[in-house]
Amino acid sequence: MSARVLVIGSSNTDLIAKINRLPRPGETVIGGTFLRAAGGKGANQAVAAARAGAEVTLVARVGDDDFGRTAVEGFRREGICTDHTVVDRERPSGVALIFVDARGENCIAVASGANAALSPADVDHARGAIQRADIVVLQLEVPLPTVAHAVRLAKSLGKTVLLNPAPATELPRALLRQVDYLTPNEHELKLLLSRESRVESREPEEKRKRIRSGSRLSTLRSRLCCCYLIETLGAAGVRAVGPGFEARVPAFKVKPVDTVGAGDCFSGTLAVAIAEKMWLTDAIRFACAAAAICVTRPGAQPSMPTRREIEQMLKRKT
């Protein structure tokens, strides 16, 4: 039986301009090419998981417009269950405006649209699907109260929860303590640490010394209790720490074309590997292989690799 992955999150249409360099504030950069592609962190992770071989359900909202209809058609072509993908009659579909430079680096602005209306009630309506899932995957492009409610419900049902804390924001410690796998990049981890540093400044000196004596990753994990913390470092690979576990997994060497969606690819495929009960180091390497393929292609969802492609990449040396 395939791993069962339930994703709760956003669906966007990405409008992408590929240019030589990213513009500075107030500057217009001429030239480049335009691409329209399916995106949104939730949808990206759902597609990544589906192509990696999982049975996927997506809990999301799209508008009753061309972007929304195209998105839902795309999910169905990928074999994703859309029973809990709500068509919002009042709000437009989410749109992301993306610049990608010649090195593959990007900057993104998102108009949330229907994503901002994804509610705890939408999550409750998917309770049966959550109950059947092996793992529940979330991100932060939908309202935080909805994310928090979904995590509480998933944990009350005994489910494993993976949270990709992106876009970067501060998160309540009560929420983080319920997360089994947290997958920040360097910037997101720095923001999470900034909050914990303020908390630490109020701790007794003896406790502060004990916390500082560990690694940065171990320090944050100690604040978050029992979760596995998996930090993505781009071309530098991945660092991970958890109860009785610590690993550094190198990235696969590739020439990047577009880094949009790479983090989503990593989280979506990692969820599949965890649901399949791979050893965590092997699961991280599986996700690194998928992300390496992803960055060699333009667009978010179009760049997600198949299971066969991931397995072929795994045969290469990093």
pLDDT digits (tens, 9 = 90+) for 17-67: 989 999 999 999 998 899 898 999 999 999 999 999 999 999 999 999 999
63 belongs to a structural domain: yes
Provide the annotated active-site residues.
264
- CATH code, domain with 54: 3.40.1190.20
Q: Residue 217 to residues 180, 190, 241: CA-CA distances in angstroms?
A: 15, 10, 7
97 belongs to a structural domain: no
Confidence tier at 284 by pLDDT (50, 70, 90):
very high
Number of independent structural domains in the chain: 1
Q: Domain of residue 222: give its range.
A: 4-11+40-92+116-314
Q: Return the closest-CA partner of residue 136 out of 46, 75, 17.
A: 46
- Residue 16 phi/psi, 5-degree rounding, is -115, 130
The three-class DSSP label of residue 289 is helix
Confidence tier at 164 by pLDDT (50, 70, 90):
very high
Average pLDDT score, the chain: 90
137 belongs to a structural domain: yes
180 belongs to a structural domain: yes
Identify the bridge partners of residue 107 per DSSP, sorted by sequence position: 99
Q: Can you give the pLDDT at residue 234? A: 93
